[in-house]
Amino acid sequence: MTQQHTFDVVIVGAGGAGLRAALESSRRGRTAVITKLYPTRSHTGAAQGGMCAALANVEEDNWEWHTFDTIKGGDYLVDQDAAEVMCREAIEAVYDLEHMGMPFNRTPDGKIDQRRFGGHTHHHGAGAVRRSCFAADRTGHMILQTLFQQNVKQGTTFFDEYYVLDLLRAPDDGRAAGVVAYELATGELHVFRAKSVVFCTGGYGKMFKITSNAHALTGDGPGVCYRRGVPMEDMEFFQFHPTGLYRLGVLLSEAARGEGGILRNSDGEAFMERYAPTIKDLAPRDMVSRAIYTEIREGRGAGPDGDYVYLDVSHLDPKVIDAKLPDITEFARTYLGVEPKKEGVPIVPTAHYAMGGIPTTVDAQVVGDAANTVIPGLFAAGECACVSVHGANRLGTNSLLDIVVFGKRAGVNAGEHAATVDHAELGEDPAGAVTRMLEDLAGHAEGERAAAIRLDLQVNMDDKAGVYRTETLLKEMEVELASLRERYARVWVQDTSRRYNTDLLEAVELGFLLDLAEALVVSARARTESRGGHFREDHPVRDDKNWLKHSLASRGDSGVKLDYKPVTMTRYEPMERKY
């Protein structure tokens, strides 16, 4: 039985962006938040280090410097108007959170405290600046909790553990008409009619094996949109965070280096001095990740296999560690049995953040082509979206900023849009496509499990589409993906029950990962230059003449089709990225 619901606004996902959007849209229209996890399980809660805003609470700063850092950090693929919006509105966004009860750390005079973070500088690169507002090393946790608390206060309508599997678009003009969701508790489908649909579903790091991402981060929102004709922007740009726990990939925040932590190779050398003489360990993440791999490749990695380096905080005041870095030092103790107050913590780069995703305007409206034609009623914000404020490489802390600033904009605009239009007509049998997909997936009495196919996807993506890429590796990955797709067509879902069928859920998730991995690999192979998080060993230099443009990957009958659109420039001319 398919149940029908009608709302003005439907928000998909309840991390920071979705919850921030809900606070705005539910003041403007009847809003439902549909989320496959309980809201507080969202991966916003894993963000650690902070949220940058040029409050200038502890030293001189202004939002124009923040804008410059964001654009330079993004290797000039950032849309400069969007970066200006984000960095200007950052200040109000932080104060908004504080007014909602966010427990920021404080300065001695009771203001919000700030600390250094990678790539954030004063006077356009002259030196590191204290810009990151934080709550110990659990800033994301506190933002998620604070936004959830405010939604409880406001009485937001949640559909917890409902998994959105399709976007409904009006048959006549393609505008958003609603979504189809699968209720985990019962296995039933629900059609939600809505005038505005907002995707805030987070990233898709689970296409890699070594990742800081949660199991839930399988790109469902972008995957749904991609299958319904929305192109994916800048998919080749994926961030590998320098400091993931060895073997596990669990994130150790850049805040460790912001507080004075140092990366060391097997000789104990603070090697970042050679790669970024000015800001050293606080260089942008793509540069630090490549530096780590260069150390490892040149034989200066530590450990029996020489395959990691150390994050060293042992010289910091133990009180600073306990007060400002308690969680990440506990991760090292719990998962590696290492005491960070005494010894270096083994780390490797870990797949962390998707710069690419659903293309939007600065008002969080989804656009459907290279001419930036808006798809009416469709919005996206947060990691699943590409505004693009992060360009080719996101600066640390700018993700929490992104979700709060653009989550708010999405909520405001979705609510206002809904007030001006009627519900679009649904086509016939709106849940039909999802019904058929689920029947197909569950229709094999034997075969290979999703887990086996997913593991092969992840291992291959790590090897062939990770920090270092080449034409040969990416070509191999395309071939591998074709084979993985064939295997996926015969996937076996062993659990046959209706309620909480997480076996079926994992199979569906894998489908989205495969689609998005293909878009990523095809986009990466085409881009014959190196920029930010996309590094081609066979094309190691940035090529502004040919490649200062966003890619758009669409799903065609004969594979992925690529298109390009210009980067929005305001006043920052591209220059060489040195730190």
Partner 1 sequence: MQVKLRVRRFNPETDSESRIETYDVPADPMDRVLDLLHWVKWNVDGSLTFRRSCAHGICGSDAMLINGTNRLACKVLVREVGDQITVEPLRGLPVNKDLLVDMEPFFASYREVLPYLVNDDPAPDTERRQSQADRERFDDTTKCILCAACTTSCPVFWADDEYFGPAAIVNAHRFIFDSRDQGAAQRLTVLNDKEGVWRCRTTFNCTDACPRGIKVTQAIQEVKRALLFRKV
Tokens at residue 99, please?
A: 């007014």
> Near partner 1 by CB under 8 A, which window of 76-84, 142-150, 296-304, 481-489?
142-150
Strands (E), 23-134: 31-35, 51-52, 114-122, 127-133
* Interatomic CA distance for residues 254 and 259, integer angstroms: 9
Residue 331 lies near partner 1 (rule: CB under 8 A) = yes
CB of 545 to partner 1, least distance (A): 43
**127-133 and 51-52 as β-strands: parallel, antiparallel, unpaired?**
antiparallel
Residue 142 lies near partner 1 (rule: CB under 8 A) = yes
- Tell which one of 274, 499, 571, 578 touches partner 1 (CB under 8 A): 499
* Interatomic CA distance for residues 102 and 289, integer angstroms: 32
CB of 108 to partner 1, least distance (A): 7
Q: Is 285 a catalytic residue?
A: yes
- Tell which one of 451, 479, 482, 575 touches partner 1 (CB under 8 A): 451
Residue 27 lies near partner 1 (rule: CB under 8 A) = no
> Near partner 1 by CB under 8 A, which window of 37-45, 344-352, 477-485, 513-521?
37-45
Q: HSE (CB half, 13 Å, CA atoms) of 301?
A: 20
Residue 335 lies near partner 1 (rule: CB under 8 A) = yes
Q: Taking the C-alpha atoms of 440, 446, 451 and 455 in order, what is their torsion angle to the nearest 10 degrees?
A: -100
Residue count (the chain): 579
**C-beta of 496 vs 570, nearer to partner 1:** 496
- Tell which one of 40, 314, 372, 435 touches partner 1 (CB under 8 A): 40
Pick the catalytic residue: 193, 285, 525, 577? 285
If binding means CB under 8 A, how many residues of this protein chain bind partner 1? 62
Residue 456 lies near partner 1 (rule: CB under 8 A) = no
Residue 214 lies near partner 1 (rule: CB under 8 A) = yes
Q: 83 to 112, contacts with partner 1 by CB under 8 A?
A: 94-95, 98-101, 103-112
Q: 517 to 576, contacts with partner 1 by CB under 8 A?
A: none
Q: DSSP string covering 371-422, please?
A: T--EEEEEEE-STTEE-SSSTTSPPTTHHHHHHHHHHHHHHHHHHHHHTTSP
Query: Helix, strand, or coil here: 559?
Result: strand
CB of 569 to partner 1, least distance (A): 32
Residue 420 lies near partner 1 (rule: CB under 8 A) = no
Residue 304 lies near partner 1 (rule: CB under 8 A) = no
**491-492 and 448-449 as β-strands: parallel, antiparallel, unpaired?**
parallel
The H or E element containing residue 475 is helix 471-489
Residues 6+ apart with CB under 8 A from 452: none
CB of 103 to partner 1, least distance (A): 5
| Among 425, 167, 467, 142, residue whose Cα is nearest residue 297 | 467
Q: Could you give the residue numbers annotated as active site?
A: 285
Site residues (vs partner 1, CB under 8 A):
37-38, 40-43, 45-46, 55, 94-95, 98-101, 103-112, 135-136, 138, 141-142, 145, 149-150, 152-153, 185, 214-216, 248, 250, 327, 331, 334-337, 449, 451-452, 492-503
